[in-house]
Amino acid sequence: MSEWFVEEDNKEIRFSCKIDETLFEGKSDYQDVKVVNTLAYGKMLILDGCVMLTETDEFVYHELISHVPLCYHKNPKNVLVIGGGDGGTVREVLKHKEVEKVILCEIDKMVVDVSKKFFPEVAGELDNKRAEVFIGDGIDYIAKHENAFDIILVDSTDPVGPGEGLFTKDFYKSVSRALKPGGIVALQSESPWFKKAFLERIQNNVGGAFQHKKAYIGPVTSYPRGLWSWTMASHDATLFDAPNLQRFRAVSKGLKYLTEGMLTTVFDIPPFFKEKIKS
């Protein structure tokens, strides 16, 4: 008998994948954690019934959330990743030799453990000497740090459940304080196809804490509605002018999605999305 994983979005659409094998099912203090092997996407990490990553397309999300801010920053040395317990974002950050240290602050230890066991290609760099894993609440962690990071990447789940607090204006203000001068925050900011009010709220909250912000997009076809967005924010407008291509070229050989052309024009987003978020 065949089993299907089904993710339903807003009672309107369903994304279903045929499951070859269920590899792990657990319940952490925060969420249901599941790993399945699917015919279409290979291994898949599922949190509270939502796809977090698949081994075949995870590179799109992870390259976009990390290399865009890393290449637009002037001199990124200290990076903090909030969420992202699968380690994919940390793996991409560490491709930049200038980065001296990357700290991962993940609330759910089970996500880290399961990722290390079932997704070694994704989580493998969590054991890198330049990486440090801190299990704890991202909001508390950020509140305790001031002027500490060049880049903060908010690699969160959706603004429901454990990820909810990572989308508030207060949180972004806290992020702003935790950044050094010239610092950049980048966050996943949901699908451009989602409802205007929902997307606008995220953008308004970021805009309430940072003087400048720009969204960008990329295809994450295992997520609801297939197209995804990230938002980069800073107090320094000049950071958005142009990426450091020398820095990009130093890491580009190992990339599977992001190209120099895309990076250079990354903030030139589709008018339909621009209009929705008024940016």
The residues of the shown chain that bind a copy of itself, judged by CB under 8 A, are 4, 9-18, 38-40, 56-57, 59-60, 193, 217, 219, 221, 225-227, 255-262, 264-272
Q: Closest separation between CB of residue 261 and a copy of itself, Å? A: 3
Q: Which amino acid is at 200?
A: E
Q: Which is nearer to a copy of itself, 120 or 226 (CB)?
A: 226
User: 13-27 and 3-9: which strand pairing?
Assistant: antiparallel
Q: Which is nearer to a copy of itself, 13 or 237 (CB)?
A: 13
Q: Which residues pair with 53 in a beta bridge?
A: 45
Q: Which is nearer to a copy of itself, 233 or 266 (CB)?
A: 266
Q: How far is Cα 233 from Cα 68, in angstroms, rounded to an integer?
A: 11
Q: Is 137 a catalytic residue?
A: no
Long-range contacts for 199-205 (Cβ within 8 Å, ≥24 apart)? 199/229, 199/276, 199/277, 200/276, 200/277, 200/278, 201/167, 202/159, 202/167, 202/231, 203/231, 203/277, 203/278, 203/279, 204/169, 205/167, 205/168, 205/169, 205/171, 205/172
Q: Closest separation between CB of residue 148 and a copy of itself, Å? A: 34
Q: Which residues pair with 187 in a beta bridge?
A: 154, 231
Q: Closest separation between CB of residue 168 and a copy of itself, Å? A: 28
Q: Closest separation between CB of residue 274 and a copy of itself, Å? A: 9
Helix (H, G, I), strand (E, B) or coil at 251: helix
Q: Closest separation between CB of residue 109 and a copy of itself, Å? A: 31
Annotated catalytic residue, options 86, 108, 150, 155: 155
Using alpha carbons, select from 170, 7, 177, 188 the residue that is nearest to residue 83: 188
Contacts of 264 (CB under 8 A, 6+ apart): 242, 243, 245
Q: Which is nearer to a copy of itself, 60 or 122 (CB)?
A: 60
Catalytic site residues? Answer: 155
